[in-house]
Amino acid sequence: MLRRSLLKGMAALAVLDGGFGPIAGAAVRRAAGVSRVRPGDAAWPSAAEWQRLSQAVGGNLMEVRPLFAACAADSKSAACADMLRNMRNPFYIGDQPGGTQVSGWLDAWQPQPSVYAVKARNASDVAAAVNFAREKNLRLVVKGGAHSYLGASTAPDSLMIWTRALNDVVLHDAFVPQGCEGKMAPVPAVSAGAGCMWIDLYNAVTAKAGRYVQGGGCTTVGVAGLVQGGGFGSFSKGFGTAASHLLEAEIVTADGKVRIANPCKEPELFWALKGGGGGSWGVVTRLTLKTHDLPAHFGGAWGTIKASSDDAFRKLVGRFVNFYADSLFNPHWGEQAHIGMGNTMELSFVCQGLDSDQARAVWQPFFEWVKAQSDLTITDDLGAHAGNARDWWQIEGNDSMIPDSRAGAAPDHGWWKGDQDQVGAFIHGYDSVWLPAALLATDDGRQKLGAALFAASRYQMVGLHFNKGLAGAPADAISAARQTAMNPAVTEAFALAIIAGGEMPDYPGFPRPKPVDVDAARKDARSIDAAMAELRRIAPNSGSYVNETNYFNDHWQADFWGGNYPRLLAAKRKYDPHGLFFVRHGVGSEGWSDDGFTRS
């Protein structure tokens, strides 16, 4: 039922408070523009120093190899065969220290492993690694789920802090953040280690406890990274962003201190963690999120419609825009409609709080109109259905889910079939823009929206992600989102439009049948830019989602955070004044080279 094809065209996948004391000297050197050290530099740590770090983290310091190192060494080896057999399993890729969920971005980045990684078991391990990186002037990378399209969790010549092993999940009947006793009422909540994936929380909170936690749609996305970016899931139109429900975080900051951030302790850091971008503030080791009453039903609607001509497709798009505005623009409906180049519209919606009869009744007028049009053909059956919400993420017997079938894998680990094409994808181009709800308020606005969607679809397929704009959500969800660091434009947008393209994996060392056709890939990237230009004409300066955006965005401060950026920059200067934590186009990154090694 749930069929999210986020990167279409990839179906051909082949197989700071006062002083820092002893770090002052290093801070002065960095401020003067000296680069972080690399292997071969005189200041690179000696073998004995690395050994001391290893001892400090209980032996959990490891060398990092490229994901396809075994294939690069011997394409016929058993190790290479094992890699190729599992390369489409996102859990397997996430379990490899050198793994990234996508295989790179044309003319932007490719996976390049850190020299060493600390596989952290607790906050003390993280603090030891942070102190070592700071004192030795190393490039530091933080990796949890490794889902960053922008390559934020991979960098050569770096030390990685890998949080995958921090995967405990604890439920609370009545949680009060530290220091907030008497100031905040206790609420049901869930605490999760930074290495947890959303499937871990959905299993614990929904399948077992019968409640709901607002998280991500993709089951293998890391909890910590999603929350720090803001965080949307299939049902965000009903519940808001993941960041909106953060109650408390444990984080190791650049001074090596383990801090608790919540509304009563370190409130500015707490605010920055709610949508200020992952990897910029420190290493989050644990998060606690509010949980909610579980709706009785989760469900969806689906189908594919092809128009016989451009005029027929314009008519279809216009009809759909009106139908969405009149019948779907509310907290019940989320996920996607794809407006395709071949005059094709694909529907892959989800709903919450409606049973099957209610869901079908909503869609019946639109479905009947489509069936009555002689110039429209239904190429994939139209339908709507809902079921027990508690079973939504059930693996067994769910033909929309793919189980992790490796020996010893957790039986409740699986991923949506609609997310399969993303695994290992090589990105040609990617961009997003929020579409203001004001476009739906008038006939003129709807006509402009329909015309822009048609014009954009002449270049590339447009994905309308209705759950990633909060206009139409309940007032409390919108109010909570306004208390986060995200661009406030999200609260005034009815959808996030995503336009993207790519192809089969291009990991270094992967034995592709033939290399990437760079000219064709660049042509594809230009078509994405052209399609997005059509949408930006009707939605200028409306912002872009930091977790799903253009690597080459020149206006990233305003697009990602809007008027919140100056406040975020002040928080960055307080908690990380010397830029130990670097993410390209992250808060405070203006003063660094693109690779994060040299302060300009």
Write phi, then psi, for 261 (nearest 5 degrees): -115, 125
Tell me yes or no: is domain 21-164+566-591 CATH 3.80.30.20.
no
- Residues 497, 503, 509: CA angle, nearest 5 degrees: 135
The predicted pLDDT at position 600 comes to 83
DSSP string, 534-572: HHHHHSTT---BTTB--TT-TTHHHHHHGGGHHHHHHHH
Q: Tokens 């500015």 belong to which residue? A: 268
H/E segment holding residue 25: helix 24-31
Where along the chain do its domains lie?
21-164+566-591, 169-294, 297-393+418-555
State residue 34's pLDDT score.
66
Residue recorded with tokens 């920059």? 569
Same fold: 21-164+566-591 with 169-294? no
Residue 542 tokens read as 């409306």
| Cα distance between residue 39 and residue 422, in whole Å | 33
Beta carbons of 86 and 92 less than 8 angstroms apart: yes
Tell me, what DSSP letter sits at residue 171? E
Dump pLDDT digits (tens) for 295-346.
Answer: 999 999 999 999 999 999 999 999 999 999 999 999 999 999 999 999 999 9
Cα-Cα end-to-end distance for the chain? 50
Q: What is the pTM of this model?
A: 0.94
Q: What is the DSSP letter of 390?
A: G
Per-residue model confidence (pLDDT) at position 18: 29
Q: What is the C-alpha R_g of the chain?
A: 24
Q: What are phi and psi of 54, to 5 degrees?
A: -60, -45
pLDDT of residue 466: 98
One digit per residue, pLDDT tens: the chain, 600 residues?
343 443 444 433 333 232 323 333 333 334 445 699 999 999 999 999 999 999 999 999 999 999 999 999 999 999 999 999 999 999 999 999 999 999 999 999 999 999 999 999 999 999 999 999 999 999 999 999 999 999 999 999 999 999 999 999 999 999 999 999 999 999 999 999 999 999 999 999 999 999 999 999 999 999 999 999 999 999 999 999 999 999 999 999 999 999 999 999 999 999 999 999 999 999 999 999 999 999 999 999 999 999 999 999 999 999 999 999 999 999 999 999 999 999 999 999 999 999 999 999 999 999 999 999 999 999 999 999 999 999 999 999 999 999 999 999 999 999 999 999 999 999 999 999 999 999 999 999 999 999 999 999 999 999 999 999 999 999 999 999 999 999 999 999 999 999 999 999 999 999 999 999 999 999 999 999 999 999 999 999 999 999 999 999 999 999 999 999 999 999 999 999 999 999 999 999 998 999 999 998
Which residues fall within 8 angstroms of residue 282, CB to CB, at 6 or more apart?
130, 251, 252, 253, 254, 259, 575, 576, 581
Neighbouring residues of 17: CB distance < 8 A, sequence distance ≥ 6: 574
Six-digit token string for 17: 């408070």
Tokens describing residue 561: 């955070």
pLDDT, one tens digit per residue, over 123-166 is 999 999 999 999 999 999 999 999 999 999 999 999 999 999 99
Between β-strands 376-388 and 258-261, what pairing exists: parallel, antiparallel or unpaired?
unpaired
Q: Which residues pair with 306 in a beta bridge?
A: 344, 377
Strands ordered across the beta sheet of 333-339 = 376-388, 297-307, 344-352, 333-339, 462-465, 493-503, 426-436
Q: Is the dihedral of CA 93, 594, 586, 460 positive or negative?
A: negative
- Smallest CA-to-CA distance from 583 within 60, 255, 63, 149 is with 149
Alpha carbon 217 to chain centroid, angstroms:
9
Indicate the CATH number for domain 297-393+418-555.
3.40.462.20
pLDDT at 139: 98
Task: Please provide the CATH number assigned to the domain covering 169-294.
Answer: 3.30.465.10
